[in-house]
């Protein structure tokens, strides 16, 4: 994994300097946006870090530097949605790790919540 200061991925020290300048100039504003998304500072800091890591990896490919805020905000939103989905799936299966409760009632006239019809019960 590359970090700010490593020049292996970015290719030039100028890119590293530009990225560092961007983070210093916009970091606080990005953190405020992340707090609005996550609701707490700790998760917001993680979100900004993840979004900036993705941005750093794509830094050389971003041609429109005026759109950097939009790029990082979109990265934050996408990452936040991904984390939310992963957490939601983990919560769903936390009480029923093998999924047997969802299928326990499946049979004629009962779809077990699978969306099938009573005439054709879900068989897993």
User: Domains in the chain, ordered, with CATH?
Assistant: 13-96 (1.10.1740.10)
pLDDT at 22 over 90: yes
> What is the pLDDT confidence band of residue 11, given thresholds at 50, 70 and 90?
low
CA nearest 89: which of 66, 22, 14, 81? 81
What pLDDT is recorded for position 8? 45
Tokens at 2, concatenated: 């590359």
Q: Note the pLDDT tens digit of each residue in 51-109.
A: 999 999 999 888 888 889 999 999 999 999 998 888 777 766 776 666 566 555 555 55
pLDDT at 47 over 50: yes
What pLDDT is recorded for position 51? 95
């Amino acid at each position: 994994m590359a970090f700010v200061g490593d020049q292996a991925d970015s290719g030039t020290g100028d890119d590293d300097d530009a990225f560092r300048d961007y983070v210093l100039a916009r970091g606080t504003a990005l953190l405020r946006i992340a707090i609005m998304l996550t609701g707490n500072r700790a998760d917001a800091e993680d979100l900004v870090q993840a979004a900036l890591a993705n941005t750093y990896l794509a830094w050389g490919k971003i041609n429109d530097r005026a759109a950097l805020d939009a790029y990082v905000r979109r990265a934050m939103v996408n990452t936040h949605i991904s984390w939310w989905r992963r957490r939601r799936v983990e919560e769903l299966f936390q009480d029923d790790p093998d999924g047997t409760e969802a299928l326990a009632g499946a049979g004629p006239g009962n779809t077990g919540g699978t969306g099938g019809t009573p005439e054709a019960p879900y068989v897993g």
